[in-house]
């Protein structure tokens, strides 16, 4: 397949010679609940992983939690709990929400505070090689020592310097230098290091953990495009300086961000819809279709209507899986649709085009089934392709449980109507329920109900 590489600014042919894809995706800073914008990279890299697995690769997916930084410290202090308690509560909620969106779990979710010795070892190596220096308990990366700094974000040092905020920090040799280790301030959590108690900077944790869990060369490093600079630029500088090997990452893959009222959806701007609220309001398929209906590298504008309308689209796919009453007609050939789908996905994960083929196939199945065509094999293809996009077209198993209290309420109401000899109204309740797929059976023990699809 071809995949756009931010480093070369081109689509390049993707392959992994030994069949294993090492994929590192920058994860969340769990200082508060996840918002829907956080689900975008999760869904994009879930689909990339599913597609690579479909192509026969084994994907090893590692995604970190940044469980210590300024925002974590501040939020934990406000709630009077430890940063660990805060991180673990939000990480558990995040994983639940991603499960609800049918996102495959990463093979490993390292936490920065769980890997402090590895981080310290890497910083120490950078200091020994002259790429970093310590001052008063802090350690900084010496950006000008790195000859190709700026190659990912395509910036040069002079323009960076001109654009840099003039920070009053007499510790740094150069304003471009960035922190690898921050000395402890009063009341902050800290870990021991050769430079005194402190905590790691954000960038170094991803370099250290990707090295620890995936090795010196990654096949794919992913995240939102807002991470290209400085986070990913700094990761390259640290890792390539430490290992003395290039490239650290073969493919840099970045997704566009979710926009709300023309701004990036972000906690700091306060223009968010929480992931939990979205999951309660929309089906997982609708949320996935909303994200996949636009190319992953483009920014995507959130609106309630655009997500809600995807529920009807998901229903059309689901309808195409209804069994045929009569299969005496011709068998439909789903191959051209499958080929188009694969072509689209091979072209830098073009999910809008892949979805168009999927909907074309669904339309063809619905049309031909009504004419008595044998659609069984085509339905299998539909299921297979929908699975690559992480859509679940089977009726959710929990559906009976979800509606149970409401059906019970109507069943009881009907019994009361019958006792009051309001038979016309009682029959209307029964018939209307039947129209919604719920049938009632009156027996000696009272009335039992079931869903037709059960
Ligand atoms: Zn990262």
List pLDDT tens digits, range 310-361.
999 999 999 999 888 777 788 899 999 999 999 999 999 999 999 999 999 9
Query: What percent of the chain stands above pLDDT 90?
Result: 80
373-392: average pLDDT: 95
**Cα 206 to averaged position of ligand 1 atoms, centre (Å):** 5
Strand duo 138-141 + 249-255: pairing: unpaired
Q: Is 407 exposed, middle or buried (0-12, 13-18, 19+ CB in 10 A)?
A: middle
Lowest mean pLDDT among 261-265, 344-348, 351-355, 388-392: 261-265
Q: What's the 289 CA to ligand 1 centre distance in angstroms?
A: 27
CB-based burial, 284-320: b 16+ in 10 Å, e otherwise: bbbbbbbbbbbbbeeebebeeeebeebeebbeebbeb
Distance 33 CA to ligand 1 centre (A): 19
Residues forming beta bridges with residue 139, ordered by sequence position? 134, 181
| Among 350-359, 372-381, 431-440, the range of highest mean pLDDT | 350-359
Pick from 35-44, 101-110, 405-414, 438-447: least confident: 438-447
Kindly give the distance from the C-alpha atom of residue 113 to the centroid of ligand 1, in angstroms, as a whole number: 14
In angstroms, how far apart are the furthest CA atoms of the chain?
A: 91
- Give me the pLDDT at residue 405, please: 83
Position 168 scores a pLDDT of: 55
How many other C-beta atoms lie within 10 A of the C-beta of residue 411?
19
C-alpha of residue 384 to centroid of ligand 1, in Å: 32
At residue 157, the pLDDT reads 87
Confidence of residue 158 (pLDDT cuts 50, 70, 90): confident
Average pLDDT along the chain = 93
Decide if 253 contacts 52 (C-beta within 8 A): no
E strand intervals along 26-171: 58-63, 132-135, 138-141
Residue 223: pLDDT over 50: yes
Integer CA distances (angstroms), 322 to 263, 357, 362, 378, 380, in order? 42, 19, 11, 12, 12
**Cα of 231 to ligand 1 centre, how many Å?**
7
User: Which strands make up the sheet holding 138-141, listed edge to edge?
Assistant: 132-135, 138-141, 178-183, 198-200
C-alpha 364 to ligand 1 mean position (Å): 44
- What is the pLDDT at residue 399? 58
Does the pLDDT of residue 88 top 80, yes or no?
Answer: yes
Interval between CA 226 and ligand 1 midpoint (Å): 11
More confident residue, 404 or 224: 224
d(CA 282, ligand 1 centre) in Å:
30
Token pair listed for 274: 């929480």
In angstroms, the CA 226 to CA 235 distance is 14
Sheet holding 218-224, edge to edge: 58-63, 20-25, 218-224, 249-255
Beta strand 300-301 with 258-260: parallel, antiparallel or unpaired? parallel
pLDDT at 329 (0 to 100): 81
pLDDT at 166: 53
pTM: 0.86
Region 381-399 average pLDDT: 85
Residue burial 48-70, b: 16+ Cβ < 10 Å; e: rest: bbbbbeebebebbbbbbbbbbbe
Burial class (CB in 10 A: 0-12, 13-18, 19+), 167: exposed
Q: Answer with the residue of higher pLDDT: 203 or 171.
A: 203
The model's confidence at residue 454, banded by pLDDT at 50, 70 and 90, is very low
Q: Under DSSP, is residue 220 helix (H, G, I), strand (E, B) or coil?
A: strand
- Percent pLDDT > 70 in the chain is 96
Euclidean distance between CA atoms 220 and 319, whole angstroms: 36
Whole-number Å distance, alpha carbon 383 to ligand 1 midpoint, is: 34
Ligand 1 centre from 126 Cα, in Å? Answer: 18
């Amino acid at each position: 397949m071809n995949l756009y590489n931010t480093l070369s600014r081109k689509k390049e042919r993707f392959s992994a010679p030994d069949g294993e894809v090492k994929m590192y995706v920058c994860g969340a800073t769990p200082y508060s609940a996840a918002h829907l914008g956080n689900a975008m990279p999760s869904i994009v890299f879930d689909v990339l992983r599913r597609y690579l697995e479909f192509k026969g690769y084994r994907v090893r997916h590692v995604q970190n939690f940044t469980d210590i930084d300024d925002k974590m410290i501040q939020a934990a202090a406000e709630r009077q709990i430890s940063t660990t308690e805060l991180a673990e509560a939000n990480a558990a909620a995040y994983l639940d929400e991603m499960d609800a969106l049918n996102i495959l779990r990463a093979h490993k979710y390292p936490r920065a505070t769980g890997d402090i010795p590895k981080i310290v070892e890497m910083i120490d190596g950078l200091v020994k090689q002259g790429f970093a220096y310590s001052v008063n308990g802090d350690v900084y990366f010496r950006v000008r020592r790195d000859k190709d700094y700026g190659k990912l974000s395509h910036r040069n040092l002079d323009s960076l310097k001109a654009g840099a905020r003039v920070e009053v920090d007499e510790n740094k040799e150069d304003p471009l230098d960035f922190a690898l280790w921050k000395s402890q301030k009063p009341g902050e959590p800290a870990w021991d290091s050769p430079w005194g108690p402190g905590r790691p900077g954000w960038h170094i944790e991803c370099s250290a953990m990707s090295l620890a869990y995936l090795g010196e060369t990654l096949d794919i490093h992913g995240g939102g495009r807002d991470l290209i600079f400085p986070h990913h630029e700094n990761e390259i500088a640290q890792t390539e300086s430490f290992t003395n090997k290039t490239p650290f990452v073969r493919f840099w893959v970045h997704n566009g961000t979710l926009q709300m009222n023309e701004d990036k959806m972000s906690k700091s701007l306060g223009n968010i819809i929480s992931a939990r609220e979205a999951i309660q309001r929309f089906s997982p398929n609708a949320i996935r279709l909303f994200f996949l209906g636009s190319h992953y590298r483009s920014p995507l504008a959130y609106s309630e209507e655009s997500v809600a309308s995807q529920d009807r689209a998901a229903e059309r796919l689901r309808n195409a899986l209804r069994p045929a009453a009569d299969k005496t007609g011709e068998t439909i050939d789903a191959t051209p649709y499958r080929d188009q789908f694969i072509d689209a996905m091979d072209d830098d994960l073009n999910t809008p085009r892949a979805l168009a083929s999927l909907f074309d196939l669904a339309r063809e199945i619905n049309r031909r089934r009504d004419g008595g065509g044998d659609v069984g094999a085509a339905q299998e293809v539909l299921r297979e392709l929908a699975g690559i996009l992480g859509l679940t077209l089977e009726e959710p198993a929990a559906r009976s449980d979800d509606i149970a209290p409401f059906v019970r309420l109507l069943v009881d109401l009907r019994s009361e109507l019958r006792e009051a000899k309001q038979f016309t109204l009682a029959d209307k309740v029964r018939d209307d329920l039947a129209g919604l797929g719920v049938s009632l059976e009156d027996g000696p023990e009272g009335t039992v109900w079931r869903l037709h699809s059960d």
